[in-house]
Structure 1
């Protein structure tokens, strides 16, 4: 179980290779599909992604993990201080050793990490979102930030600057598309986990959308699946797909060795929306997941898109 320590340990921390191996193991255990995608990356990049993933997971577990009932704003203040220490090159725990090394190798900004902590603060006191704009801010903070954290690791393709007349051009950074992918992923999470969140008294679908389709909070909490619910879910899925489409245009701007894994991750995650449709939008009793055999079918198409788009 991952948790924030009560105070820094005055012990010898793990050597660098052991720290990265620990990050690899945590990623492989808790996010199998994501881990498989990282294996498509060059070694230095996948190790960096593992280190970032572990930090993000530990941050999320402060609010959604087994000990989340003990988390307060003070806990998140302490975690932000922990973050500041890591960015200052002073690791506190074993996995921090890998993240400190990653920060030295790649030009990663601290602000997305701070923003993610701000997203966790929202979960401390909010269980409803009135409008999509409010939900979009939450999605940016807890997931869009991941795109900003990882884009410096993925790298930007500057091959168009190889000719003498293009030396003065600056490669466009695909950060808006990276944020869009994070938002798309989080919207997909929300739709997949409606039933699980409802059992915790949480509703992430905007209340203005419930009203639009004349579907009540009480009906959602009771898992009512009817034509109104199906129409509401179709509306939500279409919105998530628009963000996935927006994200697609940024993949060609990444370094060539990052395009295949990003295409694969996008297609695998977007596939969850297809499964929700196949389950007739019943996200209360059926958890939507892409089976292993179907994941394999996505890979050749992802590879082709990475090469030609």
Structure 2
């Protein structure tokens, strides 16, 4: 654990953390993507799964602000608030009223959030915004703690972040930790005690983070991040909304409904991350294009999670598949709960996989435009997740009794491929060069 006194956890959580550290070498599942998927441009948060070997944490007392095993004492220092010049009030997207949830197509609503984040990021220089300025000891310890959590739960991604500049690397860790803590509210050790009110309180705490009033050291790391990078609060709010959706919803009538859920729990991470990862100074692409690519990777990863975990979700009484498309394929809920791999199911799965792959192709367009040192973790996520779809096909579409996973050898082979892809120049630059060559 951290040597600073601010890194103190509750005894039960500290003991669980030590046990997980001792079993570290035996955790093949700790780096695997999880249900929700905040496994996107940034990382894998592991929703709906338990880390093998982890002991449950003690249930937090009523009114407590601690989150699962990632607890820290209240933070004394105040991180700087976002400079007023970065505010874009004219682009504020109002949350829809409950009765109007589907009044506007989900893709259009999400596009408005993309435009807002793109405008905020475009207002900042594309070069790194932060210099190597020394940090106070407490803040350094906060970022170090975030790095420890990332390394513990997402080893492959943590490795890939080592190519990033220290400022960007620390900021990405801070975002990862906040996403993981948010995810634990619904799927962590204390999930059965979480209510809508608890999520409201977590959102209020998010507002404090963006206002420069962090509650604990992990909040302080994110507060410093959003103060120094053009990160908009809306994707963070939307992720919390995704947690609310999971508390009240276990069926999705159309893909439009499912699209919104996938954005909430996964696409949001891409929008959080682009301003930190940065866009290459050589890129000719619009900031909006890069943000759309980040969103697409989140959607693709989450759809892949859903297709991989059909059987697991069914055993929990959940179906994350468009019901109208199931009906068109002649399938019912009974077919899913009974795990029937019929010709109709295989045809349905082929269509779902085709859709997921289309989002992966769109994600590639954004990944090539990022700063070179930030591309490796993105390409690694993209290539590794896309292989899960191949494994579903290899299992003859039996995702009821067979869990599609990428063998460790294939994972290791994907990393150098991802690194080589990260070295390629922005696609917009090469397209521009080809266009120029055609004119001369």
Normalised to the residue count of structure 1, the TM-score between the two structures is 0.90
Structure with more contact order per residue of length (Cα contacts < 8 Å, sep ≥ 6): 2
How far has the Cα of 1:61 moved from its partner? Answer: 1.6
Aligned: 1:59 with 2:182: yes
String of CA shifts for 1:201-222, please: whole Å, max 9, x gaps: 0100111121122121112112
Partner of 1:165: none
Partner of 1:249: 365
Equivalent residue of 1:145, what SS? Answer: helix
1:92-111 to 2 correspondence within 5 Å? 92-111=215-234
Partner of 2:410: 294
Segment drifting more, 132-141 vs 257-266: 257-266
User: What RMSD, in angstroms, separates the aligned Cα atoms of the two structures?
Assistant: 2.3
How far has the Cα of 1:12 moved from its partner? Answer: 5.3
Equivalent residue of 1:117, what SS? Answer: helix
How far has the Cα of 1:225 moved from its partner? Answer: 1.8
Partner of 1:185: 301
Aligned equivalents of 1:109 and 1:221: distance in 2? 40
How far has the Cα of 1:173 moved from its partner? Answer: 5.2
Partner of 2:354: 238
Aligned length: 302
Change (3 A) 1:253 1:115: same
Structure holding more helix per residue? 1
Segment drifting more, 136-145 vs 92-101: 92-101
On the 8 A contact 2:306/2:320 being kept in 1, the answer is yes
Equivalent residue of 2:295, what SS? Answer: helix
Aligned equivalents of 2:74 and 2:416: distance in 1? 49
String of CA shifts for 1:122-143, please: whole Å, max 9, x gaps: 1111100010011001111111
Aligned equivalents of 1:154 and 1:118: distance in 2? 24
1:1-309 to 2 correspondence within 5 Å? 6-7=63-64, 15-159=138-282, 174-308=290-424, 309=427
Partner of 1:164: none
Equivalent residue of 2:404, what SS? Answer: coil
Partner of 2:96: none
On the 8 A contact 1:86/1:100 being kept in 2, the answer is yes
Partner of 2:48: none
Aligned equivalents of 1:63 and 1:139: distance in 2? 15
Partner of 1:166: none
Equivalent residue of 2:340, what SS? Answer: coil
Aligned equivalents of 1:20 and 1:279: distance in 2? 41
Instruction: Name stretches of at least 5 consecutive residues in structure 1 with no aligned partner.
Output: 162-168
Normalised to the residue count of structure 2, the TM-score between the two structures is 0.64
How far has the Cα of 1:108 moved from its partner? Answer: 0.8
String of CA shifts for 1:168-219, please: whole Å, max 9, x gaps: x976651111111110011011111112211110100111121122121112
String of CA shifts for 1:137-174, please: whole Å, max 9, x gaps: 1111111110110000110123368xxxxxxx976651
Instruction: Name stretches of at least 5 consecutive residues in structure 2 with no aligned partner.
Output: 1-12, 14-56, 66-72, 78-136, 428-440
Change (3 A) 1:53 1:110: same
String of CA shifts for 1:52-72, please: whole Å, max 9, x gaps: 111111111211222222221
String of CA shifts for 1:94-122, please: whole Å, max 9, x gaps: 21121122122211111100011111111
Give the structure with higher Rg (CA). 2
Aligned equivalents of 1:4 and 1:142: distance in 2? 24
On the 8 A contact 2:75/2:217 being kept in 1, the answer is no
